[in-house]
Structure 1
Amino acid sequence: MVIFSKISFSFILFNIIIFAIISNCLIDVNSYQRNKRSIVLINHKFVSPIPYYIGPFTKNYTSIHEALYRIQNNTCIRFKPAIFYVYGTGGFNFLRTHTLCESSSGPKLGDEKHINYVYISENCEHSIGKIEQLVGKMLGLVPEIYRDDRNKYVQINYSNLDKRTRLFYKKASYKKNDTMTFGYDFLSGTHFYAKNYSVNGKVVIEPKKPYEYYKYSMGQPYGLSFSDIKLLNKKYCFDIYRKNHCKNNGYRNPNNPKKCLCPSGFAGSKCEKQIKSSSACGTTFRRAWSCVKQINVKGIAKCSYFIKSLKNKRVKIIIDKSETEPNEHCYKNMGVEIKYRDNKGVSGVCLCGSYSNLTFISENNFAVVVYHGFNETNRINIRYQSVTKSAAKIK
């Protein structure tokens, strides 16, 4: 009977301790959210190699290590494991919680006794992409929805938003943040989904024209986007980043500076070329004139079409039909990607599934269409032509 009492007491005490740890984690995240507007004003960066500690009760070390490797592989940032908790701005810690997957946008500043946590749970501990996104935030990436210029790109439907979470949609000042020099990326690893914190299951974030088709591909769980990684390179690897000879919004490979890392659809040592296309794609470099031309491809193939008009013109693309593998979270290399914005480094509109009668007009004289067909029923039928700048504004 005495033994049972001792065991019961130990078990209860153990659970109280764990509950206290988890409760403190949740309080800490909420505290961060309340103060985030001041935190993101400071352009802090860790000193590489960055110490990290993986806390107890973590079940999947492999996903964490793979996520860190992804970042190391595309940046100059290096990580080193610590044998105990890391404090202050000296590094960060992975802590397993019950349901929470979250991270602050950089460490808490002015308190070197504070422990900076990347919180993981069963909801994300097996997802390399989600963990990579959380680490990206800890390194200083700020969600796109906080950008001061976000109203140019999206509309927030506050009537559909849970009032208790309005704080999560407040814009922040970016006087000391690099994000504003980059194009708004709807598929950033930090971007909210369309229905994040919805009170009624309806859309909260709605892309504005001419970005309305990003409603089909906004937010993703696969990792940091090309633009995210590029921003980390600007932040942490500036000496290499600033001497940029790359084309089409690529950036110098910090691990091999003679070569460039390229956005989707582009290849070559300077990102000046198309990715290698299948023979089924036909001619992949196209000139757009006022007369309408077509692109028709069907079946298993990988194609990157460069469509260019004269410099003072724009490219109009009409998707008559697109049939690719359906995916709730469409992303690059999955179906069809349309890059019609001036900045080819940000994600294009990604289409997975069945679509028809979609019209895009390029922001400059150059558009890119990337097709990935994975079975014989996949296809895309496109019309394209050159239009004037004034005609483009009418869209």
Structure 2
Amino acid sequence: MHEIGHTLGYIHTQSRVDRNSYVSIATSNIQEDFAGNFFIWIFGTIRFSDVTFPYDYGSFMHYDSYAFSKNNEPTIIPYESRYEKTMGQRERAAFYDYKQMNRLYCTRTNCPLMFSNNACQNNGYLDPNTCSYCICPEGFSGTYCDQKDSNSNCGDTIINLNPYFSTQITIQNPSPTTIIPTEQYCVYLIRIRLRLDSINTVKRSVCSLRSLIEVKYQKDLALTGARWCGNTITSDWLNITAETNTMIVIFRANNSINITTGNPQASFRATIFFDAEPIPVVNLTTMTTTTTTTISSTASTIQVTNSLTTTGTTLSTCPPSSFRCQLPSQPTCGGCLNYQPCIIEGTQPCLAYTYQIQLTDCDKIVNGVAQCRYQFIQTQYTTSCPRTVLLCCPNYQLISIQTYYFCVYNPQASNLPSEWSLII
């Protein structure tokens, strides 16, 4: 396959003009007769410029770390150390290898949007035969390459249902149930940060595509991910952070139960870390009638009193609960108005005071001016006071942090009301 690539006009990946941004070449470790395989092609190839698509460690045109070494020391050192076992695979062309082939030999004049300005996401491209559907990178499928690969037989799309709170979730491949080997192709579409806790696959200097874990964490998720195999874990796999808010984890194994130990022949376990998202900006500092003593800086819920009334004119701006809470048991995108409370105006009985001034005496004259003393008499009475009312859907908790308020889905709280919760 590698030599067929040369026939099609491909050069070695480590000979690209941009290679110094991705790998370091240890020239002192290279056999002298093969040094030309590591030279940079300053002018690209005869057929095409070699940097149309990004540098891919997993290309079938990339050498492995110890290629043509004369002293068993590495000749190619990736700046991203997690890609050491990714470089040098010859089992199949990478996504960008195929995309390059189609760009060179299958471009159609009646499909001008094949490679750009189309609806395909994650750098997918339109099928060159029909120009009617997207060719997706590994790990993705769907009409627009925005879904987890439907060909996978295990895995999941994992999100944090309470994004304003940090969360840890463990993922692992399902355990096989038989001694008959069965292919496992697990794809996990996750967010933010991952730690590889354990792995048990076939150990090789270049990981086999039939026994590995692959993590796509770079901004371009069409690129080959970092691959690891064996049963030990290096420190750089203990904290992998996505360059965007999405990461793809792929596990491949021809898995079965070990007849002697009863354990799976292949496995992995990892922990996903969801960092708390920033609080949405719902600044209610203009609510001069709401005081900081009404709600504390910790989470609390205050229910409406029987004496609260709301004015019909502003109440109509709040949708009914049946409209605002489509998924009260499992919201997917924030539930009630993206976590923002509904704001209405209301009135409530409150205490007010009047002051009467009473002259007590004027017994001194200074510079011709009488010096008088007064007494202020305070009288308490009950009146109807205007209040700003914040509403949250049922099973949501109204949270305040300084002058910011938002609703958080929290069905485990024992004191949540079954109807609207509010603060006045």
Match of 1:380 in 2: 268
**Number of corresponding residues:** 248
Map 1:1-395 to 2 at 5 A.
130=1, 133-174=2-43, 177-208=48-79, 211-239=80-108, 240=111, 241-242=114-115, 244-276=118-150, 281=155, 283-287=156-160, 290-300=166-176, 301-308=184-191, 315-332=192-209, 334-356=211-233, 357=235, 358=237, 359-373=239-253, 374-376=255-257, 377=264, 378-386=266-274
Instruction: Flag the structure with higher helix content.
Output: 1
Q: Is the 8 A contact 2:201 2:267 kept in 1?
A: yes
Change (3 A) 1:344 1:278: closer
Distance 1:280 1:214 in 2: 24
Q: Does the CA contact (< 8 Å) of 1:189 and 1:228 recur in 2?
A: yes
CA displacement at 1:285 relative to structure 2: 2.8
Separation in structure 2 between the aligned mates of residue 329 and residue 160 of structure 1, nearest angstrom? 19
Q: Report deviation, 1:238.
A: 3.2
Change (3 A) 1:280 1:343: closer
User: CA 1:353–1:334 in structure 2 vs 1: closer, same or farther (change >3 Å)?
Assistant: same
SS at match of 1:238: coil
Mapped to 1, the partners of 2:203 and 2:95 lie a distance apart of: 23
Q: Kindly state the Cα deviation for residue 272 of structure 1 after the two structures are TM-superposed.
A: 1.7
| Aligned-residue offset at 1:327 | 4.5
Q: Counterpart in 2 of 1:124?
A: none
Q: Residue type matched to 2:144 in 1?
A: K
Higher strand share: 2
C-alpha displacement at 1:212, in angstroms?
Answer: 0.6
Task: Please give the per-residue CA displacement for 1:44-92, whole angstroms capped at 9, x wherever unaligned.
Answer: xxxxxxxxxxxxxxxxxxxxxxxxxxxxxxxxxxxxxxxxxxxxxxxxx
Q: Name the TM-score, length of structure 2 as normaliser.
A: 0.53
Aligned equivalents of 2:68, 2:91: Cα separation in 1: 20
Q: How much does 1:318 deviate?
A: 0.9
- Match of 2:56, as an amino acid? D
Tell whether the 8 Å contact from 2:29 to 2:75 is kept in structure 1 after alignment: yes
The one-letter code sitting in structure 1 at the alignment partner of 2:227 is C
Structure 2: distance between partners of 1:222 and 1:248: 23
Higher mean Cα deviation, 149-158 or 351-360? 351-360
The answer for unaligned runs of 5 or more in structure 1 is: 1-129, 309-314, 389-395
C-alpha distance in 2 between matches for 1:379 and 1:279: 15
2:101 counterpart letter in structure 1: L
Q: CA deviation at 1:175?
A: 6.7
The answer to whether the 8 Å contact 1:195/1:203 transfers is yes
Note if contact 2:154-2:187 (Cα within 8 Å) is conserved in structure 1: no
Per-residue Cα deviation, 1:286-328 (whole angstroms, up to 9, x for no partner): 34864333223342443211113xxxxxx22110112224445
Contact 1:160 1:203 in 2 (8 A): yes
CA distance 1:375–1:156, shift in 2 (3 Å): same
Q: Return 5+ residue gaps in structure 2 as ranges.
A: 177-183, 258-263, 277-424
For residues 234-260 of structure 1, what are the alpha-carbon distances to aligned partners after superposition, in whole Å with 9 as ceiling and x for unaligned?
222333423543111222121232122
Q: Aligned in 2, Cα 1:328/1:298: closer, same or farther, shift over 3 Å?
A: farther
Greater C-alpha radius of gyration = 2
| Matching residue of 2:396 | none
* Larger displacement relative to structure 2 (290-299 or 341-350): 290-299
CA apart distance, 1:160: 0.9
Aligned residues of 1:187 and 1:217 also touching (Cα < 8 A)? yes
| 1:280 to 1:271, Cα distance in 2 relative to 1, 3 A | closer
Asked if the contact 1:286–1:305 (Cα under 8 Å) also holds between the matched residues in 2, the reply is no
